[in-house]
Structure 1
Amino acid sequence: MTKQPGPLLAIGCEGSANKLGIGIISHDPATGKSAILANIRHTFVSPPGTGFLPKDTARHHRAYFSQLTKSALASAGITDPSTQLSCVCYTKGPGMGAPLQSVAVAARTLSLMWDLPLVGVNHCVGHIEMGREITGAENPVVLYVSGGNTQVIAYAERRYRIFGEALDIAVGNCLDRFARTLSISNDPAPGYNIELLARKSAGQKLLDLPYTVKGMDCSFSGILTAADLLAAQMNEQQEKIARGEEVNEEDRFGPEDLCFSLQETVFAMLVEITERAMAHVGSNQVLIVGGVGCNERLQEMMGQMAKERGGSVFATDERFCIDNGIMIAHAGLLAYETGFRTPLEDSTCTQRFRTDEVYVKWRD
């Protein structure tokens, strides 16, 4: 069928973790402007004290994919995808294997059903490009922080170069796992609920936790272990109080103090490595992307650092910083416009897909 003239439209399918997102975006080559036509998301929420298993998450994505796609098409006013859309974009990686596979299969089905080309997208590049589009940041140092990734990135010579990263677990994974230790609710997100608890502490008690920065790299597994030990100590205190035993008031602390101390320490580490990268590349702009980037305390701490350097911080709200389909549609359409396509036989997915593996042809 003949494609309709005018702006290019793409549908993006994201499902690398526990969020299933379908987004539709338009790019107008004549004006260079973009428009978000639909951005729908559904989250798999596991019970408190548990994480989300790949098989359960994949089952969730399979169950909701058709419903979300229909809703996105209706929201965007698309009645004939085969003529109105230009391509189908999907998350190739990185992420969890089973959820990625379920969405990749669904995206291939749409491509065949609508006779549209496929575009495989790097999840991390999707976050970066969406952040740049929404905030207008020109050439920032990017702090990418999520449940699966922690990277300090800067653009150079058609690649997003990784200057520093977590050497073990991601900062979001550290926060999520500590939420399990405290049996904090996963609804709407464990990291968000930790943030709310931390605010209740109001800085009354900053507990001593390991601080591990190595150049522009950092490590979070040690701080998680120390925080878990403090949580066990807190439980012992509560048991003593319940038995009527005395506990020194100065030694007492609660879950809000633990959450505050964990946040302050890991965010200070992130600010340090970001400032080091800014000095290295000579940039005074910081763009925070990824799910943890929604945290207002992280934005505040990064803002204080950037202000001291005469710079500025850019961040988005939960619509765009948390995994979503529109970022996959946007990054995929940028690649599509430069001639990139993913042949059906190569439309696989991978749990490990480095940010710096992508050739960023759409940037100078």
Structure 2
Amino acid sequence: MVTALGFEGSANKLGIGIVSNGKILSNCRRTYITPPGEGFLPKETAQHHKEHILQVLKEAIEQSGLKPENIDVICYTKGPGMGAPLATVAVVARTVAQLWNKPILGVNHCIGHIEMGRLITGAENPTVLYVSGGNTQIIAYSRKRYRIFGETIDIAVGNCLDRFARVLKISNDPSPGFNIEQLAKKGEKFVTLPYCVKGMDVSFSGILTYMEEKTNELLGAGYSKEDLCFSLQETIFAMLVETTERALAHCNSREVLLVGGVGCNLRLQEMMGIMCQERGAKLYATDERFCIDNGVMIAHAGAEMFKTGVRMAWEDATITQRYRTDEVETVWRDD
């Protein structure tokens, strides 16, 4: 049995969680929220994490009912992500590991999402759609790696939604994507937007540029903010469903797993569910507790690594902003 403590801080969510033998003991989080029309910058985000991390750590320990001596390994997000927030959280993780005399493991953020999704849903070997503010990938497991079948060639789907929310001055509380989702439910008129799928890859920058340039014109022509949110969601989600379906067919898979912050969007789940039903496949998804960046996903992935003998030297306990999903050898999986 391995009990792991995980630190996550690759973007604007600071999360700390504890997992023991697949059982979640605590999952605490703080989100850095900026004013409407603004994004979050690395320096300010890192400052937010620095100010709150010790309090969140205290909460996670208290919620778990454990003491430091009960923890077997300290895990932290090595990457990918924003440099300053990653570094801030990694410093605390290294300090805690040294103070408590525990081994430390750097975890790939994307792998954390996938393993958390598999744990919560019970999906065995799914085709994975990983969609968040910083990442968009279609992934399938093969021969000790999570292989990337398709991805965005420019910006991530969550980044596209976030930046469009800024155009409309939509609130960032609790998240711009969530608020776009609520507005989209009231949309009635569909605007035809650029649809850009290139083989197994997708592109969102052209759609975003089109919306940035045309929003005022469309609002003046009788379209509402709700209509624009509805049209954007339908278009970009259709692109994701198309590429995921192609990967599903190629892998002869019967499972689709949605992970990442955008994965808790109910309209995306609905569209993906319809596709899965038509193909005789099953959709697996989680709610915002585990879809959105959290510390327990890092703890769980780290625990899986630790159980199978993965160890990290202190000099390797660094961060990297670019850390590909397929760089990690999944030694904990033997299927």
* Normalised TM-score (structure 2): 0.99
Match of 2:136 in 1: 150
Paired positions, count: 334
Match of 2:197 in 1: 213
Tell me if 1:58 matches 2:46: yes
Q: CA deviation at 1:314?
A: 0.3
CA distance in 1, matches of 2:223, 2:214: 9
Residues 57-113 of structure 1 deviation map (CA, whole Å, 9 limit, x = unaligned):
00000101100001110111113x1x2110000000000000000000000000000
Tell me if 1:19 matches 2:13: yes
Structure 2: gaps spanning 5 or more residues = none
Match of 2:214 in 1: 230
Match of 2:231 in 1: 261
CA distance in 2, matches of 1:57, 1:281: 39
* Normalised TM-score (structure 1): 0.91
Q: CA deviation at 1:208?
A: 1.1
| Counterpart AA for 1:17 | A
Tell me if 1:73 matches 2:61: yes
Q: CA deviation at 1:26?
A: 0.2
Find 1:96's aligned residue among 82, 95, 105: 82
CA distance in 2, matches of 1:286, 1:229: 35
Kindly name which structure, 1 or 2, has the bigger radius of gyration based on alpha carbons: 1
Structure 1: gaps spanning 5 or more residues = 1-6, 28-33, 238-250
Mapping of 1:1-150 within 5 angstroms?
7-27=1-21, 34-79=22-67, 81=68, 83-150=69-136
| Counterpart AA for 1:306 | C
- Local SS of the residue matching 2:78: strand
CA distance in 2, matches of 1:217, 1:44: 31
Q: CA deviation at 1:338?
A: 1.1
Q: Which runs of 4+ in 1 moved over 3 A?
A: none
Match of 2:295 in 1: 325
Q: CA deviation at 1:286?
A: 0.4
Q: CA deviation at 1:230?
A: 2.4
Query: In angstroms, what is the RMSD of aligned CA positions?
Result: 0.7
Mapping of 1:283-362 within 5 angstroms?
283-362=253-332
- Local SS of the residue matching 2:185: helix
CA distance in 1, matches of 2:58, 2:191: 49
Match of 1:3 in 2: none
CA distance in 2, matches of 1:191, 1:185: 10
- Local SS of the residue matching 2:36: coil
Q: CA deviation at 1:360?
A: 0.1
CA distance in 2, matches of 1:96, 1:316: 25
CA distance in 2, matches of 1:283, 1:259: 32
